[in-house]
Amino acid sequence: MKLRIATRRSHLALVQTRWVGTQLQRHFPELNFEEVGVKTRGDKIQDRPLALVGGKGLFVSEVEAVVVRGEADFAVHSLKDVPGDVPLAQGMGILSVPIREDPRDVLVTVDGTDLDSLRRGAKVGTTSRRRVVQLQRQRPDLSFVPLRGNIETRIRKLHEGQCDAIVLAAAGLARTGVLAETPHVVLPTDLCLPAVGQGALAIEGAIADETLSTQLKTIEDPTARIQITAERAMLQKLEGNCHSSIAGHASAGNGRLQLEAMVASYDGDQMLCATSDMYLDLSSPDAIKLAHRLGEDVADHLLSQGAHDLIEQAGLAAVQNQLTSN
């Protein structure tokens, strides 16, 4: 039996897709897979920040459309690229969330220098406002510069001297097998809270396809599902968009689920934080519902502090910044 998997064509996306296929074959040795590669608009546009051309949803919508048209059976996405403010296509759902990689960010340099040891005024490459607003609190003297491209391109630009350091997701480096050989320092969550869903994969397919759902559930990780449910519930309640500096990190263990979240202004001068936790039995039939409630509760804490205004103002500031730079 052959299943067709829709995926972006980047090296990381293909690695992730092939990993999913390998995991499924452990349960269903008779399965074979065909990759349906998609070069998305987000992959084609490399000269502008994603937030100004449609956000990370550009990486998802065109891959999703291939499944909707029946040209593939399911799609593999990086979950952090799945928008919180735009629903999936009608009839589609996240059918499986496999085991999650390390959700944290890492600072990559040519020699493993940490954030505090970077020279004054050093150039740090990242297009993420979330990363910029958090790191500049620790090092306001640093110069943060836009950096697009895949992992290999960004590391090459670092070695070419275009930046003194770059910030990447630990998960991407781990999955592509270059984490161990790349000088880096892991950024703790109390310094740089990760993006919602970072480190997790989302396998999207038709909800009505019961056979596919059953197959994909075999590689579902309950802990990862609980974590991303809480994080995405928070994001959705905040109505965050691609211009927002929003972070969220859920951790589960010892019968507890904790969610930390952050919302900041575009320039980072204002930053709101909220944390909450609860007792949670992952095997409980109400676990997903309770995780969702925790996410909404944390969002309510942020909204009560003025998060809505910060999110709205961030969108306006991003547009104004682009008009000024042009």
**CA–CA dist 294, 229 (Å, integer):** 9
**CA–CA dist 326, 324 (Å, integer):** 5
**CA–CA dist 262, 310 (Å, integer):** 11
Contact present, 125 and 142 (Cβ < 8 Å)? no
**CA–CA dist 326, 322 (Å, integer):** 6
81 in catalytic set:
yes
Helix (H) / strand (E) containing 7: strand 2-8
* CA dihedral over 223, 228, 233, 238, signed as positive or negative: positive
**CA–CA dist 88, 106 (Å, integer):** 30
**CA–CA dist 255, 240 (Å, integer):** 29
The percent of the chain in helix, strand and coil, each rounded to the nearest 5, is 40, 25, 40
Question: Length of the chain, please?
Answer: 326
Q: Are strands 123-125 and 201-206 parallel, antiparallel or unpaired?
A: unpaired
Rg (CA), the chain: 19
Catalytic residue among 81, 221, 267, 286: 81
What amino acid positions are annotated as catalytic residues?
81
